[in-house]
Amino acid sequence: MSETTVMGFHYTLKDKSGTVIDSSVGGQPLVVMLGRGHIVPGLDQALPDLGVGDQKNIVLSPDEAYGPANDELRLKVRKDQFPPDAQLKVGDQFQTQPEPGAPVFTVMKIENDEIFIDGNHPLAGVELHFDIEVTEKRPATEEELAHGHAHAGGSCGHDH
């Protein structure tokens, strides 16, 4: 039986060209329970090999991260297919189905009566470059295992 590990780490996420997409540096490290799909698959696989204080550059192909971009999720819909009171603007996000895992669509462009929406994750098809510095590595506590997620700083921070 393998033990469930909680790891804390600072990260800077860049794309292939070096543009910073996101970073925890200067704030709180991200603390996650490994192997639960809380982070992209490539990170879930790479992190267990690291120890506290380790710094590593991890490059993930789209398949190891948010998957390839899917053209079938780029749709053009007519404005009258939305509720009349929907005040849509570029950048708005919505789900077309109520399931938690359903794609989130983003409004990319509005032209007259046509709305262009994209259900891909914003990072689909993107190669991810992570600079990781591990700050914490420990077995999950019983409370964390019961909740199914890590508790940064020993507190839950969620309503259950």
The smaller minimum CB distance to Zn ion, of residues 89 and 158, is found at 158
Cβ-proximal residues to 137 (8 Å cutoff; 6+ apart), any chain: 5, 6, 7, 8, 50, 51, 52
Nearer to Zn ion, 89 or 160 (CB): 160
Beta bridge partners of 5: 139
**CB 148 → Zn ion: shortest distance, Å?**
8
Structure tokens at 89: 């603007």
Smallest gap from Cβ 8 to Zn ion, in A, equals 15
Using alpha carbons, list the distances in angstroms from residue 36 to 6, 41, 45, 147, 154: 11, 9, 11, 12, 19
Q: Which residues of the chain form contacts with Zn ion (CB under 5 A)?
A: 147, 156, 158
| Dist. CA 144–CA 100, nearest whole Å | 22
Shortest CB 142 distance to Zn ion, Å: 12
Shortest Cβ distance from residue 100 to Zn ion (Å)?
17
Of 51 and 157, CB closest to Zn ion:
157
Three-state secondary structure call for residue 134 = strand
Nearer to Zn ion, 52 or 145 (CB): 145
In angstroms, the CA 122 to CA 128 distance is: 12
